[in-house]
Amino acid sequence: MSAAPPAYHDPRTRCDRTPAWGALQQHFQQSGRHFDLRAALEGGGGAARVAHFSQQAPHVYADLSKNLIDARTEALLLQLARECGVEAYRDAMFAGCPINHTEGRAVMHWLLRNPPPDHMNQGAAAIENAASGFVAEAAREVQATLEQMLALAEQVRADDAITDIVNIGIGGSDLGPSMAVKALDDLRPAPKRLHFISNVDGMELGSLLRTLQPERTLFLIASKTFTTAETMTNARAARAWFLAQGGSEQQLARHFWALTTNLEAAAQFGIHTTLGFWDWVGGRYSLWSAIGLPIAIAVGADAFRRLLAGAHAMDQHFRRAPLEQNLPVRLALLDVWYRNFHGFGSRCVAPYSHGLRRLPAYLQQLEMESNGKGVDAAGDPLPYATSPVVWGEPGTNGQHAFFQMLHQGPNVIPVEFIALARPGRDLPGQHARLVANALAQAKALMRGRPSPDNPHRHFGGNRPSTFFVLEQLTPEALGALIALYEHRVFVAGAVWGINSFDQWGVELGKVLAQGLEPRLASGDTEGLDASTAALLGRFQVE
């Protein structure tokens, strides 16, 4: 790309320096912390509350009414968002400004799901035309790469010789595609199997290789940087296996493709087919880019475009809806309310959908790598908490594992339920049973059950939850749901005044691992702290 990103200065005010922050603290002390969900939902005003605190956004319905929030809290939180400059910051992202200022990069994963200009309605096209040269140039490259990627996906789908596609990647180069392929499994042609290898533990790749035939396998080496140690180690192991099975260097070029921004490193690896992308696509936001090739192979070009269209619809909602009716904004403000005023340290995500079973893992990276930060944009330490711990498992499995704690543990943990109105594939009666469980858990958390005679059986209730309903797990709905979470993370990060788009916190461990690896062989503990030295000794082979 030749055009430069537009000039930029951070339009935000840090949340604790706004009038709304103090007003929220006061409101919390006076009444906010005593809010009672049962009184709010079971009295005469219940229906009006549900109408007010629920919303249909593109492809996603959200019932927010079981949250510890009233009209005053909501008004103050919206005031907070405005005073923090969330709208200007959002517009800076959509203008292609380098809001990832610690890496000097624009943040434009949303551009990957923009329809080509000839598919846009006139209003949208006019806005896009007004975009800077940088965004317009990027948009052209995006469309060209998308066409190329979808053509490759269709080529693989039509190639009967290839039965197994192995994606080797980690973090954003694994979690998004792996989650989406599982969610949209019904669209996958039966003879094609997709595998995701991420762990540098040889157990993972080694077990898979035992089941593969080299001539029927396509390896996708997915790495934005093409330097990530785990991915490159697995990629080299796969290549060694391929050659050891009798494959030639020439055949290798047909069976190994790369998805990366580092075209040179991919070429040095011996790869001829490379799909590129750009530094303005963050790893955890990259499933819409070339990193999405395994999704496109699994579901086909049309369905991949539908995934993009669903995400684009949510982008439009986020850009255009007033803050009061803006679902990512409302969710993010609840996150701030819970984290910084109630002091809740974690949030549980419980998809009542087998297809969405990897969503919690995906969200762990999206949310905690983005917003697990301790300094503001200027580098000053923050006097308040940021990302909660995000965790979860699909329902109903979680009910038989950790829901005990959600109901009776001393700490309140807001829960997010996600359910489908219509199942993709069902066995008689099972969908109704699944949904009944989700509804029951949300109700039990809210309502509780007093047990005056036996404290062990007492449910305190008043435990908050949000309930999402997707009509069906279509590509559009999945795209919209993921984009909803992306923008929610963006808004929370905007309020907290942090850079949600870097990840310096993962660097130190990588560097130390490089230094420790040779010591495992040599046994050299010189200069190590006592604990690490003693542990290292445990790994010495006699």
What residues make contact with ligand F6P under the rule CB under 6 A?
A: 170-173, 223-225, 228, 231, 283-284, 369, 503, 506
Helix axes 301-320, 475-496, angle to 10 degrees: 40
Query: In terms of CB distance, is 103 or 154 closer to ligand F6P?
Result: 103
State the nearest-atom distance from the C-beta of 141 to ligand F6P, in Å: 19
Q: Would residue 458 show up in a list of annotated catalytic residues for this protein?
A: no
Query: In terms of CB distance, is 500 or 503 closer to ligand F6P?
Result: 503
Q: Would residue 443 show up in a list of annotated catalytic residues for this protein?
A: no
Point out the catalytic residue in the list 230, 369, 393, 416.
Answer: 369
Q: What are phi and psi of 194, to 5 degrees?
A: -110, 135
Spacing of C-alpha 47 from chain mean position: 32
SS (H, E, C) 399-421: HHCCHHHHHHCCCCCCEEEEEEC
Query: In terms of CB distance, is 171 or 394 closer to ligand F6P?
Result: 171
Neighbours of 273 (CB within 10 A): 17
Query: In terms of CB distance, is 113 or 284 closer to ligand F6P?
Result: 284
State the nearest-atom distance from the C-beta of 149 to ligand F6P, in Å: 16
State the nearest-atom distance from the C-beta of 170 to ligand F6P, in Å: 5
Q: Would residue 407 show up in a list of annotated catalytic residues for this protein?
A: no
Query: In terms of CB distance, is 177 or 247 closer to ligand F6P?
Result: 177
* Close Cβ partners of 40 (under 8 Å, ≥ 6 residues apart): 46, 49, 65, 70
Q: Please identify which residue in the block is written with the tokens 């990957």.
A: 112
Point out the catalytic residue in the list 42, 400, 471, 517.
Answer: 400
Query: In terms of CB distance, is 58 or 171 closer to ligand F6P?
Result: 171
Q: Do 115 and 56 meet the contact criterion of CB atoms below 8 Å apart?
A: no
Query: In terms of CB distance, is 145 or 408 closer to ligand F6P?
Result: 145
| Rounded Cα–Cα distance for residues 362 and 500 (Å) | 16
Q: Do 351 and 361 meet the contact criterion of CB atoms below 8 Å apart?
A: no
State the nearest-atom distance from the C-beta of 261 to ligand F6P, in Å: 8
State the nearest-atom distance from the C-beta of 319 to ligand F6P, in Å: 25
Task: Report CA-CA distances (Å) from 70 to 42, 226, 448.
Answer: 15, 49, 20
Q: Do 102 and 504 meet the contact criterion of CB atoms below 8 Å apart?
A: yes
Point out the catalytic residue in the list 34, 119, 272, 510.
Answer: 510
Neighbours of 465 (CB within 10 A): 25
State the nearest-atom distance from the C-beta of 507 to ligand F6P, in Å: 8
State the nearest-atom distance from the C-beta of 367 to ligand F6P, in Å: 13
| Rounded Cα–Cα distance for residues 55 and 61 (Å) | 6
Instruction: State in Å, rounded, how far the first CA of the chain is from the last one.
Output: 55
Q: Please identify which residue in the block is written with the tokens 């007033």.
A: 322
Task: Report CA-CA distances (Å) from 233 to 63, 198, 504, 512, 514.
Answer: 45, 10, 22, 17, 13
Catalytically active residues, by annotation:
369, 400, 510
